[in-house]
Amino acid sequence: MWIFDRLTIRIFTIFLFTVALFLMLAMLVPNFDSRNLTYLANKEEEIGNKLAKQIEKDIVNIPKNSFRWWMRFIVVMDTYQKPGQFLFIITPNDQIITADSSNIDIVKNFNEKSHDVDDPAKKIYDSQEIIGPFLIHYNNERYQLYILQPASDIQSQFVNFIFDHPFLLLSLTMLASSPFLLWLSWSIAKPARRLKHVADQVAKGNLQEWSDLEKMGSSEYKATGASFNHMLRELKRMQELQKQLLSDISHELRTPLTRLQLATSLLRRKQGESKEVERINSEALKLDSMIGDLLSLARKQYENNEIRELKQIGVLFKPVLDNAIFEAEQIGKKFSINHPLTNTTILCYPVALCSALENVIRNAFRYSDSEVEINFVVEQQHILITIDDDGPGVPSNELEQIFRPFYRTSEARDRESGGTGLGLAIVFNSITRDMGTVKAEKSHLGGLRIVIVLPIHH
């Protein structure tokens, strides 16, 4: 029914069902205890009355005041009792006549519960059952006959234990309702897990719509799925608009920039070199580089055409380090690798990750005085990569800011070196796409240390 499609109704219904089930069991189950006092069947009552008449017929001639008259009662009862059966007669003054004194307590207990000869009953004590009372007339007085015999319906000890321990009965009740509670938990958790999976995919940049979110779970989850898909459509639309905007900006900026560079070349040909022409040309080149870096950052943020792959660190970064060693020799700087690369495996976008590491190493070459050091440390769950240089470094209060696009330090290192302020922003984007982290610290060499942490794939 449509009403049970609502999560609130489901929870409330299962709660009421569980409470009702417990109350029903608490009230009805004790009635099924075979040890309870029950009324006799007609056949059992006929047998008991017949036995009472037989005994009554034989004891009618026993004088009441004779010597040990009750012993003669026992002799008569022994005549009629069957194997395993014991007979008890209770006199009007509550004296019990029997040859089985070991079970007198059972008879006394039962007599307190059942003493109406017009309505005899039955009760089980362990493996024995007692029935009665049956009427015997003797000396114008009413005597009661009780019969103790092996129980015809012995209840198992486990069932007896359950009936004797209410908390165990409560536990069994909860166990009986567990399938319904598990179904409720499953109906709540399954769409929640699916929603979490979709959210993880969105966090990785996958903005496709998930139609199953609008068909799974209760109406609340379906409405949430519809809202989630609407949000994805809006995000994708905004992403397309931003990509289009960046493309338009690139086109609009590159056109006058090309004209400016052409005019600079014509001016240099007519008037020759001058400080003004050189300055115009330098700023035009910076602007061209900045536009290129900006578009590169935008493509990495909004386009995800590369496929994540499992790569061994030693194989992945070897070309990058070989190029760094060659470049260090050309510029006369020392480049050292403290720990050899391992066969540790990571899940990454290989091209983007190698480009990020190469960017960091080249930045270190650019700002270092004479030495750059790279170190690989494999931990239990992560691999730690540190790149140190002995350059001027970055002030401590700006270490967290240098990964922001276009951020320039107070020393304006990028301006002096011709940087655009986008290199580390591209590095940050590439590392975080691989579920890693990157941060800047003070280096033991005196300059800047870049710390990259990547998760190991097991």
So which residues are the catalytic ones?
Answer: 251
Contact 9, 3 (CB under 8 A): yes
Q: What angle, 0 to 180 degrees and rounded to 10, lies between the N-to-C axes of helices 275-302 and 219-271?
A: 160
DSSP character for 458?
-
Cis amide linkage into residue 133, ω under 30° from 0: yes
What burial letters (b/e) apply to 384-420, b meaning 16+ CB within 10 Å? Answer: ebbbbbbbbbbeeeebeebbebeebbeeebbeeeebb
Which residues, 6 or more positions from 42, have their beta carbon under 8 angstroms from its beta carbon? none
What is the Cα–Cα distance from 118 to 134, expressed in whole angstroms? 8
**Burial (CB count within 10 angstroms: exposed 0-12, middle 13-18, buried 19+), residue 28:** exposed
DSSP 142: E
Q: Classify each residue of 82-101 as buried b or exposed e, where b means 16 or more C-beta atoms within 10 Å of its C-beta.
A: eeeebbbbbbeeeebbbebe
Distance, CA of 431 to CA of 383 (rounded, Å): 13
Give every CB contact of residue 164 below 8 A, 6+ residues apart in sequence: none
